[in-house]
Amino acid sequence: MRSNRYPVSVLGAGHGGLALAGYLSLRNHPVALWNRSPERISGVASLGGVRLASGTEGPRFAPIASATADIEEAVSFARRILVALPASAHAEVALACAPYLRDGQTVLLVPGRTGGALEFRRVLRDAGCSARVLLGEANTFPFAARCIGPADAHIYGTKAEVIAASLPASRTAELIDAWRPMLPMLAPTRSVLHTGLSNLGAILHPVIALLNAGRIRSGETFDFYTDGVTPAVAAALSAADEERLRVARAYGVTTLSLRAWVASAYGHHSDTVSEAVGGNPAYRGIKAPNTLNHRYLLEDVPTGLVPLLGLGAAAGLVLPTLTWLVGQARAALGGERWQRPRTLEALGLAKLGVGAIRALVEGEPTSRRVESAVPVEGFAVGRELVQV
């Protein structure tokens, strides 16, 4: 009889990773939880687990098999590896994992933001990783969650559906089969263009943070989504989201609007963006950051807005709202302070047009070796071999 227990390694013990580790443990999956800084997981190591609250339910104890700062130990623990880190750390963690990955493992970025799997694969290739690894990404995190203590997490809401795809797209069914026993909300989508262009964090977080910059700088305590989405903020969200949808259409990608995505992900149906975001019960109680030096800008701009603008430029689009948001983020942070922005060059997409980019992520690999392994040498595009 097939076992329903699947060992999983969760990389990252922040807001998402801590909750994810507890969630999986409470469903009887052995979990290794890794974080680069030992102090971040010292509470979990001392307690032997995570105290996880969900919705209005009080905390339950979720045992953690291994809480470690040793990346080799974490990568060697399981065939299934979840990367639950800010997207700005994907390149760094890919480099750290590269020496220890082995044939048959699967790595899922939750989420990949925009271009995560492409960046991760490029780093593995550059590091000389030859393990046959199944790599994929989700478009968003499965929960709205927060750390509320060193070993305590709260899941405020669980998404009804999270789309995911593999790179290359020919292995997406295999990816979903591997992960759905642990994450039943996963649903397949056509390619990592579809996950990346469905990255609503790139719209939600920078818009709300930047248009509430004065409140954040003053130290005001307010609910980020419930109180932060004023009529003016809702209008900016709508404008930015319409430009994201324009980029998606240019690449033949069908994706949900912000309002429709909230309805699909959380089951919260509404007629306006203001009500969709500000009235979403799953967002209630999530406080605004007390600084703009926060992942809402430091992560979501370089790994969300920057690649979105790059893809738009490759398609010949002018995107004034998204361009303004990137400029405002630079000004708010006192200059461009983020690391490793996901330019098309960083993703291996430089000088490619729409058709070549689509073929690269969706097309069949040029050889069996390329199909099943990283590094990937290239894809056939028309009569040419596009190097990645």
Positions marked active-site: 205, 300
The three-state DSSP-derived secondary structure of the chain is CCCCCCCEEEECCCHHHHHHHHHHHCCCCCEEEECCCHHHHHHHHHHCEEEEEECCEEEEEEECCEEECCHHHHHHHCCEEEECCCHHHHHHHHHHHCCCCCCCCEEEECCCCCCHHHHHHHHHHHCCCCCCCEEEEECCCCEEEEEEECCEEEEEEECCCEEEEECCHHHHHHHHHHHCCCCCCEEECCCHHHHHCCCCHHHHHHHHHHHCHHHHHCCCCCECCCCCCCHHHHHHHHHHHHHHHHHHHHCCCCCCCHHHHHHHHHCCCCCCHHHHHHCCHHHCCCECCCCCCCHHHHCCHHHHHHHHHHHHHHCCCCCHHHHHHHHHHHHHCCCCCCCCCCCCCCCCCCCCCHHHHHHHHHCCECCHHHHHCCCCCEEEECCEEEEC
